[in-house]
Chains A and B, each alone.
Chain A
Amino acid sequence: METTTNSLFGFLGENLQQFLSYTAFSHMTVGHIIMMMVGLGFLYLAIRHEFEPMLLIPIGFGILIGNIPFMPGLRIGIYEEGSVLNILYFGVVQGLYPPLIFLGIGAMTDFSALISNPKLMLIGAAAQVGIFGAYIAALLLGFMPNEAAAIGIIGGADGPTAIFLSSRLAPHLMGAVAISAYSYMALVPVLQPPVMKLLTSRKERLIRMRPPRAVSHLEKVMFPIIGLLLTCLVVPSGLPLLGMLFFGNLLKESGVTRRLAETARGPLIDIVTILIGLTVGASTQATTFLTGDSIRIFVLGAASFVVATFGGVLFVKIFNLFLKEGNKINPLIGNAGVSAVPDSARVSQVVGLQYDKTNHLLMHAMGPNVAGVIGSAVAAGILLGFLS
């Protein structure tokens, strides 16, 4: 009888021990706890302060999912072949999601501001200096050129582009690059205003720009067609992003494919955003994410945003030297050259209103903002062409 009792307790004890070994607690490390705190921080920023909630909530929750430790081999982790998360992550690894997001962006973007004042396109080009500033800095920190390019693209302030390029050039850095890009996109209202105020005088901040003219339907239809031909003939490697961006825009502007445009800018982009956000977040498992490289990538990412803002604002100031009075551009829209649409344009508006309550810069800033999307996709195409 006693033997039976002993063996029963022994059996239960073994089972309990086995159960405990399967719980997350027995595999928990300090790294996991740190990453969970980061995930919770993202959720806090998104819910409490509404910093890019559409991105930070999926990413933040994804970080929580990805950092719950488990017994390896159960096919549940994002890096375990055949797991559900791994299958969803396929779209990130293979660069499937970013072009679909670009399709949606194209279908929701109104290029009128750019078409009515095409010189604003040049600001979108100038702000790409952030990408190459970060590229140089990353090389100096010892990264290989392909890794430096993946890091530099954070300065383009375009999450899908960053994911697309890093998946091609440096897949091992993709998690850190994506998290960094999205984090700083959310922090655009914090990062950009000090630089904008530092580089501009009060007089410059008060410049009133001429209201944009009305743009005809024909011009709107021509823009995606000419845009595609011009940019992709120069940089064919940018086709996946630029092709989808302009295609989406043509769906919107043609006026005869309303259903397709609505799907692209509505359910499709929502679905892909959920998948990309969640899986990118979940890819930040502490065991693979918490490295010295990730920290350096975060530092470089912040620097690239600052350099991009510098580039955009300084370019406007120099450009203004060649423009007649009345045609001058308010340098506060220079920051919008980074393609964080529409956040950086909103920053221009907010900072502009701080100095003149009636000077609304939003519509003007949308020009360089959407030009920045094109510029960063072209830059990504160039880096891909050179380094792949």
Chain B
Amino acid sequence: MIRRFFDARFFAPLFSAGRRIGASGIFALTMAMLWSPDVQGQRATDLRLNEFMAINKTNYEDDFGERSSWIEIFNSSYGTVDIGGCYLSDDVNNLKKYPIPKGDVLTSIKPRQHVVFWADNKPTHGTFHLNFRIDDTRFLALVASDGHTIIDSVSYPEQTPDVSYGRTEDGAGAWRFCELTTPSTNNALVLLEAASDRFKTYDPTGVAMMITAMTVVFLALISLFLIFKYVGKTALWVIALRGRKIPRENPAQVTVSGEKQQPSPGAVFAAIAYALRRYEMEVSELESNILTINKISKTYSPWNSKIYTLRETPVKK
């Protein structure tokens, strides 16, 4: 995709006509991005099968008060992903088994959030009720909207009633039988403490923060200092080198007598500048007798045309 994105076909108009990005360039860029299916569909690839329960005897109930198998899907990204248009399947030979309906607002999964599908073979119960059961299957797949790209899949062993099978961490880690069933919530239950509370507990005076942060600030700027110290030295060296080369490379810099012309010291430039300034000051009260004509080009637009803003002259009929 990257190669195609940088394809000269798309970018050629951008850099033609003296590096000006014209309307055609912007159009080409937009079209290049829109045509790329990877750009359109890349967010769905962040979805993960996260946990499922194949045999639900006494566990969670759906909105209809029924117990059936469920599958949890996790959005591992930090952006909202719409799962609508993707497919769920338990058959490797039929990856389009359940097309997840498009247009349901509930299929948008917020960043780092979960959604649960009920594998009860009752699709009439709603978007989240599949048209198959997973009691006696050994395979599950989440398939992209193209119908053949498998976003995530799992082959699993025989399942135990009321025990879910899930990843050790949300969206990552190995699959195992879960000690706790956690539909619609994190697989690894971690007691999250706010960073602010942690600092309040361990660094109540803020001294540790000050030392750490000031060290980092200094480190960042010291590294910049060191780099530009040597960049500066190199630049001066290059300039000096060029200065020495000029007389050899450019015969115009050598005087008629054959002596090498020394680079003009700052004082000479100052003297020239002062002389010019004096000259300008002295002649400032005189007419320069110079007429400057600047051509001002004005792009025509009916919005700035006086003709269009004038009222029509009334005509007696």
Residue of B204, B214, B219, B227 with most partner-chain A CB within 10 A? B214
Complex CA–CA separation, A136 to B196 (angstroms): 14
CB distance from B212 to the nearest CB of A (A): 8
A172 → chain B closest CB, angstroms: 13
The answer to whether B204 touches A375 (Cβ under 8 A) is no
Given contacts A115-B228, A216-B235, A230-B220, contact A136 B207 (CB under 8 A): yes
Closest to A169 in B: B196
> Judging by beta carbons under 8 Å apart, are B232 and A387 in contact?
no
Interface residues on A, range: 35 or more
Chain A residues within 8 Å of B, Cβ to Cβ: 114-116, 118-119, 121-122, 124-126, 128-129, 131-133, 135-136, 139-140, 144-146, 148, 169, 213, 215-216, 218-219, 222-223, 226-227, 230-231, 234-235, 256, 371, 374-375, 378-379, 382-383, 386-388
Q: Are B219 and A234 in contact (CB under 8 A)?
A: yes
With A145-B196, A213-B236: A379-B217 Cβ-Cβ less than 8 Å: yes
CB distance from A338 to the nearest CB of B (A): 13
Chain B interface residues (CB < 8 Å from chain A)? 19, 195-197, 199-200, 203-207, 209-210, 212-214, 216-229, 231-232, 235-236, 238-239
- Which one of B206, B213, B218, B219 has the greatest number of beta carbons of chain A within 10 Å? B213
| Contact B217 A226, beta carbon cutoff 8 Å | no
Task: Give 28 CB contacts A-B under 8 Å.
Answer: A115-B228, A121-B222, A122-B218, A125-B217, A128-B214, A129-B214, A135-B206, A139-B204, A139-B205, A144-B197, A145-B200, A145-B209, A146-B196, A213-B236, A216-B239, A219-B232, A226-B231, A227-B224, A231-B220, A256-B19, A374-B220, A374-B224, A378-B217, A382-B213, A383-B213, A386-B209, A387-B195, A388-B195
Contacts A132-B206, A136-B210, A144-B200 hold; do A226 and B224 have CB atoms under 8 A apart? yes
Cβ–Cβ < 8 Å partners of B223 in chain A? 230, 234
Q: Are B224 and A119 in touch, CB under 8 angstroms?
A: no
Which B residues lie within 8 Å of A231 (CB)? 220, 224
* Chain B proximity of A374: nearest CB distance (Å): 7
- Closest partner residue, chain A, to B228 (CB atom): A118
Contacts of A213 in B (CB 8 A): 232, 236
Q: Which residues of A contact B210 (CB under 8 A)?
A: 129, 132-133, 135-136
The residue that A234 contacts in the complex, of B204, B212, B216, B236, with Cβ under 8 A, is B216
Partner of A387, one of B199, B205, B238: B199
Beta-carbon contact of B228 and A122 below 8 Å: no
- Choice from A125, A133, A230 contacting B218 with Cβ under 8 Å: A125
In the complex, chain B residues whose CB is within 8 Å of the CB of A215: 235
- Given A118-B229, A135-B206, the answer on whether A128 and B217 have CB atoms closer than 8 Å is yes
Other A-B pairs, 14, CB within 8 Å; known A131-B213, A375-B217: A122-B218, A133-B210, A135-B206, A135-B209, A145-B199, A215-B235, A222-B231, A235-B220, A378-B217, A382-B212, A382-B213, A386-B195, A386-B199, A388-B195
| Closest A residue to B222 using CB positions | A122
Q: Once the chains bind, are A223 and B228 in contact (CB under 8 Å)? A: yes
Q: Is the CB of B227 within 8 A of A230?
A: yes
Q: How far is the CA of A131 from the CA of B224 in the complex (A)?
A: 21
Contact of B221 among A136, A219, A374 (CB under 8 A): A374
A162 to chain B, nearest CB (A): 16
Contacts of A122 in B (CB 8 A): 218, 221-222, 225
Chain A residues with CB below 8 A from B239, complex form:
216
A123 to chain B, nearest CB (A): 9
B232 near A382 with CB under 8 A, answer no
* Chain A residue with the shortest CB-CB distance to B207: A136
Cα separation A135 to B206 with both chains bound (whole Å): 7
Shortest distance between the CB of B44 and any CB in chain A (Å): 25
Expressed in whole angstroms, the minimum distance between the Cβ of B13 and any Cβ of chain A is 17
- CB distance B224 to A139 under 8 Å? no
On whether the beta carbons of A118 and B209 are closer than 8 Å, the reply is no
- Interchain CA distance A215-B203 in the complex, whole Å: 44
- Chain B residues with CB under 8 Å of A383's CB are 209, 213
A387–B196 touching, CB < 8 Å: yes
Selected contact of B224 from candidates A116, A121, A235, CB within 8 Å: A121
Q: How far is the CA of A126 from the CA of B214 in the complex (A)?
A: 8
Residue of B with least CB distance to A147 = B196
Q: Which residues of A contact B204 (CB under 8 A)?
A: 139
Shortest CB–CB separation between residue B217 and chain A, in angstroms? 5
- Chain B, Cβ-Cβ closest to A133: B210
CA distance A136 to B213 in the complex (A): 13
CA distance A140 to B236 in the complex (A): 50
Distance between B216 CB and nearest chain A CB, rounded to angstroms:
5
